[in-house]
């Protein structure tokens, strides 16, 4: 009976507090690598990054999280800070539009 009392009153709370402290330590001081989601693009037969889910994050190297690097997935599914234009205008149309805005 005394064994069960010691187990419940000493061991289980000690283990629980240890797990909570370790969880706080690892969440605050050791960053976890975040990776973007991939999908297979059947039209071009290539792997791309998913633009709908997570599009920014931090990638870390080694078990201690050294050399953190930020990544961003653009609107076309590539790892780049630059988004592609959605309009499909030709170069001549772009020049004419630029001239119109510069003149007028």
pLDDT for the residue 86: 62
pLDDT for the residue 62: 78
- Regarding whether 60 and 36 lie in a shared domain, the answer is yes
Residue span of the structural domain in which 19 resides: 1-30
Predicted confidence band at 30 (pLDDT cuts at 50, 70, 90)? confident
pLDDT for the residue 89: 64
- Regarding whether 37 and 17 lie in a shared domain, the answer is no
- Regarding whether 14 and 50 lie in a shared domain, the answer is no
- Regarding whether 96 and 62 lie in a shared domain, the answer is yes
- Regarding whether 19 and 50 lie in a shared domain, the answer is no
Judged against a pLDDT cut of 70, whether residue 88 lies above it is answered with: no
21 DSSP β-pair partners = none
Judged against a pLDDT cut of 60, whether residue 8 lies above it is answered with: yes
What does the mean pLDDT of the chain come to? Answer: 84
Question: From its phi and psi, is residue 3 left (phi > 0), alpha (psi between -120 and 50) or beta?
Answer: alpha
Check if the beta carbon of residue 56 is closer than 8 Å to that of residue 71: yes
């Amino acid at each position: 009976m005394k064994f069960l009392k010691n187990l419940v009153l000493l061991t289980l709370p000690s283990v629980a507090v240890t797990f909570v402290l370790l969880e706080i330590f690892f969440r605050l001081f050791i960053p976890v690598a975040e990776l973007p989601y991939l999908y297979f693009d059947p039209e071009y037969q290539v792997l791309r990054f998913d633009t709908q889910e997570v599009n920014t994050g931090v990638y870390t190297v080694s078990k201690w999280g050294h050399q953190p690097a930020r990544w961003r997935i653009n609107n076309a599914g590539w790892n780049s800070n630059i988004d592609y234009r959605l309009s499909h205008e030709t170069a001549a149309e772009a020049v004419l539009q630029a001239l119109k805005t510069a003149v007028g």
